[in-house]
Amino acid sequence: MSIHISAKKGEIAKVVLQPGDPLRAKYIAENFLENPKLVSQTRGILFYTGTYKGKEITVGASGMGFPSIGIYSFELFTEYEVETIIRIGTCGGYSSEVALFDLLNVENAASESTYAKYAWEFEQEILPSQGNIHNIINETAEELGLKIKQSNIHSSDIFYRKDPSVPAIAKKYNCPAVEMEAFGLFANALHLGKNAATILTVSDIIPTKEFISANERETALKPMIELALEAAWKVS
Model pLDDT, residue 215: 81
Closest-CA residue to 43 (of 18, 68, 19, 67): 68
Catalytic residues, which ones? Answer: 204
62 in Cβ contact with 87 (< 8 Å) = yes
pLDDT for 74: 98
Percent of the chain scoring above 90 in pLDDT: 92
Q: How far apart, in Å, are the Cα atoms of 106 and each of 18, 40, 164, 193, 199?
A: 15, 28, 23, 18, 6
| pTM of this structure | 0.96
**The pLDDT value given to residue 183:** 98
The string of pLDDT tens digits covering residues 72-96 is: 999 999 999 999 999 999 999 998 8
Whether the pLDDT of residue 54 is over 80: the answer is yes
The average pLDDT across 218-236 equals 93
Q: What is the pLDDT of residue 120?
A: 97
pLDDT tens figures, 159-206 = 998 998 999 999 999 999 999 999 999 999 999 999 999 999 999 999
Residue 236 is predicted with a pLDDT of: 67
The mean pLDDT of the chain is 96
Sequence-ordered list of residues with C-beta below 8 angstroms from that of 68, at least 6 positions apart, any chain: 62, 181
More confident site: 49 or 214: 49
Domains and CATH numbers, the chain: 15-235 (3.40.50.1580)
Give the model's pLDDT for residue 216: 87
- Categorise residue 15: left if φ over 0, alpha if ψ from -120 to 50, beta otherwise: beta
DSSP state of 125: S
Q: What pLDDT shows up at residue 103?
A: 98
pLDDT per position as a tens digit, 110-157: 999 999 999 999 999 999 999 999 999 999 999 999 999 999 999 999
Query: For residues 6 and 31, what is the distance between their CA atoms, to the nearest angstrom?
Result: 23
Backbone angles phi, psi at 223, to 5 degrees: -60, -40
- pLDDT beyond 90 at 221: yes
- Report the pLDDT value the prediction gives residue 168, as an integer from 0 to 100: 97
- As a 3-state breakdown, the chain gives helix, strand, coil percent values, each rounded to 5, of 35, 30, 35
Rounded Cα–Cα distance for residues 12 and 119 (Å): 25
Contact 152, 64 (CB under 8 A): no
Evaluate whether 195 touches 235 at the Cβ level (below 8 Å).
Answer: yes
